[in-house]
Amino acid sequence: MSLKQGANSGKYIPIAFREVIQMNEQFIQSIRNLNPNPPLRDKEIEDFYVPRPQKSYNFLKAYLLSEGNPKIPVTGPIGVGKSTELNVVKKSLENDFIIISPQSEDMFGKEEMGNISFYVLLIREMLKKIEKEKISEDLSINDSIFRNYQYEKNVRKGYSGNILVELSRFSLSEIKEKRFYDYLKGETESLYALCWAIGDCLNTHHKKRLLFVLDDFEKLDVKVIEEIFVNHSREIKELPFSLIFTYPLVLSYSDKIRIFRENYEKALYLYPVNVEGRLKNPNREAISFFKQVMQKRAPNIKFEKGLMEKMALYSGGIIRSFLHLARNTVRNAMIDEQDMVNSQNFQMELQSAREAYFRIINEEDYNGISKYLKHKETVIPGLERYINQDIILEHRDKEGIWYQINPIIEPLVVKFYDRKQKEKLFDQGRTI
């Protein structure tokens, strides 16, 4: 057997062993690339991003580039790809907008978020941008900055305008201090006026439009979102900059959703990719999307014919679920020292995934889900929770909205339903 000296060891390593090492390195790198948890950012977008079949990225970009200062709410199930889509939009608009995108640790402190602390957040982040861009610190909050703010039209009933006179005494550097916010405590209209004025000032200085991207707002309690974006929607819509924010999925199933959609005409619900239709017919375009995702993240890994399609179908179109299934299936193949990922590796991961769901679904859940399985009832108690946990998947096509039991757990539901039917028949027989 031919021998070749190792690069770092000083020992001779057989070629067959070197091939095994190289194969393991390819598997390990692919497993890293298939990590489903962090959304794609920066270089990862260039390396791994594949446009969704629904073209949500194109919609967001086109609407943001339109006239005005659009406010776009975004929601969808966990793992559907919201954060990645927003990161792609941010990256593509860097030359068109001043983009401010606070990290979650910057947004949420110990204090409870509300409309007052929301304006404080926006002000604070704009001042950080002013400081970073070395805009003059001696800009005063005076009449010239408020020149375009039509205060009389926006003032709340019974509010005294004296506070605006006091604002002229502060420079931007002084506004950064905590005492300023203590001074304005409870003065929501003043904070709003200040937020409006600094946003307009920042736009004027850069000669570019300002865009806020608030990605982690879906983590907030739905009542907080209602307070900020429903109860104060008029003020939010009139801010002189564009805004994208995520909101909790549960709001889509509350009695406030009609008002919310009326206030924000371009709200985006990011659905799972439709890997199959209502009649379980595979969608080739969607399956091709997932194959491209795999080829970008694991280009050197060989898969058994038809296996990538099977993984796409079992994911239900949830990108994070697909990456979970793919990563653990590839890991199983590496542990078994195989040079090709096969169906047995996938079945092992599928069983593990089912066991994870089995631990969070109780008998009451099975009863509710079984009604959908048998009668296709869409009024299911706890539907929003099932959707948020990827137990039931909500899809949209040209005909409207339809639902699907997560393919991973459907056999568990079928088994439960069959058992209940047998028990029912047994009880009926015993009664007779």
**Per-residue pLDDT tens over the stretch 355-412:** 888 888 887 788 778 777 665 555 667 777 888 788 889 998 888 888 888 999 988 8
What pLDDT is attached to residue 300? 92
For the domain that residue 417 is a member of, what is the CATH number? 1.10.10
What pLDDT is attached to residue 340? 93
Domain shared by 239 and 344, yes or no? no
Domain shared by 126 and 220, yes or no? yes
Domain shared by 108 and 255, yes or no? yes
What pLDDT is attached to residue 161? 40
What is the arithmetic mean of pLDDT over 213-218? 89
How far is the CA of 211 from the CAs of 14, 239, 375, in angstroms?
Answer: 58, 11, 46
Note whether residue 169 is domain-resident. yes
How far is the CA of 114 from the CAs of 108, 117, 187, 320, in angstroms?
Answer: 11, 5, 13, 31
Distance CA 328, CA 196 (A): 49
Domain shared by 83 and 145, yes or no? yes
**Of 2-16, 212-226, 406-420, which gets the smallest average pLDDT?**
2-16
Note whether residue 403 is domain-resident. yes
346-354: long-range pairs with CB below 8 Å, 24+: 346/307, 346/310, 346/311, 349/325, 350/314, 350/325, 350/408, 352/328, 353/324, 353/325, 353/408, 354/408, 354/409, 354/411, 354/412
Domain shared by 374 and 301, yes or no? no
User: Which of 314, 329, 356 corresponds to the end of one domain?
Assistant: 356
Note whether residue 277 is domain-resident. no
| Enclosing domain of residue 23 | 3-38+295-356
What pLDDT is attached to residue 431? 45
pLDDT digits (tens, 9 = 90+) for 319-359: 999 999 999 999 999 999 888 999 999 999 999 999 888 88
**Of 30-44, 52-66, 340-354, which gets the smallest average pLDDT?**
52-66
Domain shared by 304 and 406, yes or no? no
How many folded domains does the chain comprise? 3
pLDDT above 70 (res 77) = yes
Domain shared by 74 and 189, yes or no? yes
Note whether residue 207 is domain-resident. yes
Note whether residue 352 is domain-resident. yes
Distance CA 224, CA 226 (A): 5
User: Which of 269, 303, 331 corresponds to the end of one domain?
Assistant: 269
Distance CA 187, CA 183 (A): 9
For the domain that residue 193 is a member of, what is the CATH number? 3.40.50
Domain shared by 334 and 367, yes or no? no
More confident residue, 290 or 54: 290
pTM as predicted = 0.81
pLDDT above 80 (res 171) = no
Domain shared by 81 and 215, yes or no? yes
pLDDT band of 245, cuts 50, 70, 90? very high
Note whether residue 371 is domain-resident. yes
Domain shared by 233 and 352, yes or no? no
Domain shared by 230 and 122, yes or no? yes
What is the arithmetic mean of pLDDT over 171-179? 55
More confident residue, 332 or 168: 332
Note whether residue 49 is domain-resident. no
Note whether residue 285 is domain-resident. no
User: Which of 334, 356, 378 corresponds to the end of one domain?
Assistant: 356
Domain shared by 121 and 34, yes or no? no
What pLDDT is attached to residue 309? 97
